[in-house]
Structures are given as structure tokens and as C-alpha cells.
Copies of this chain bind each other. A is one copy, B any other.
Amino acid sequence: MVFLVRTDLNMGKGKIASQVAHAAIQLYKASLKNKNPYLDIWLTWGQPKIVLKIDKECETTLDNVYKDALKNNLTTCKIHDSGKTQIESGSLTVVAIGPNRAEDIDKITSQFKLL
């Protein structure tokens, strides 16, 4: 699983962690529902999770990543914050992809750096 996190919202460490955890559970649920063939392999191999950052034109960039992932039939989700703490309600905070083949995710996310 790869998580892309906006840095322009200046979320604290705890906030980022909770948003990424929301995304992880959403992808896991979607993988169970859609019988994602990569889920079992991913679980067996230690459930790798990579957290990247988006620091420019964040909403547009994240939207494009999400659309690319959909177009390539990858498991993906968008997280919008409930806005109870720190940031405005409905803000897009994270887009996540996977589990899928690393090379398929890399095509879409390789230009982003580790958070």
C-alpha cells in the first residue's frame, strides 16, 4: 500500500497517522469486498506500507493520482477529513493505492518523495 499525504494542510503527526490509518482500513475493506488477488500476498509479506508526500497543487495532484489509479484498475481510495480537529471539514487529506503489484503502483507514484 502506498499513501500520499498532503503537506500543505500542516497536519500534526497524530492527525497524519489517523488519516493514513483510515485509508489503510478502507483499502483493506475494499480488497476483501472485491476479492483483490494481491491481498493475501501482501498480508504474507509483512503488509508493506509506504508514506509519500504531496507538496504542490495538492488537491489537483491527488485527484489526478486517484483517477490514474482507477484507470489502471488499482485498488484506491480518497480520504476526506471529518473536520472535527485541526483542518476544515471535507478537506481531502490522503489518497492511497494497493495492495497491487509494486511496478503498477510505482508507475503512478514514483515521482513523489517519502514523507
Q: Which residues of A does B touch, CB under 8 Å?
A: 1, 3, 5, 12-25, 28-29, 46-47, 49-53, 82, 114-115
Contact = CB atoms under 8 A, between A and B. Distances in A.
B47 A14 contact: no
Given A21-B20, A25-B25, A28-B25, A14 B46 contact: no
10 contacts: A3-B17, A13-B51, A14-B52, A14-B114, A14-B115, A17-B20, A17-B115, A21-B21, A25-B28, A25-B47
Most buried by B among A17, A46, A114: A17
A29 B29 CA distance: 10
A22 B47 contact: yes
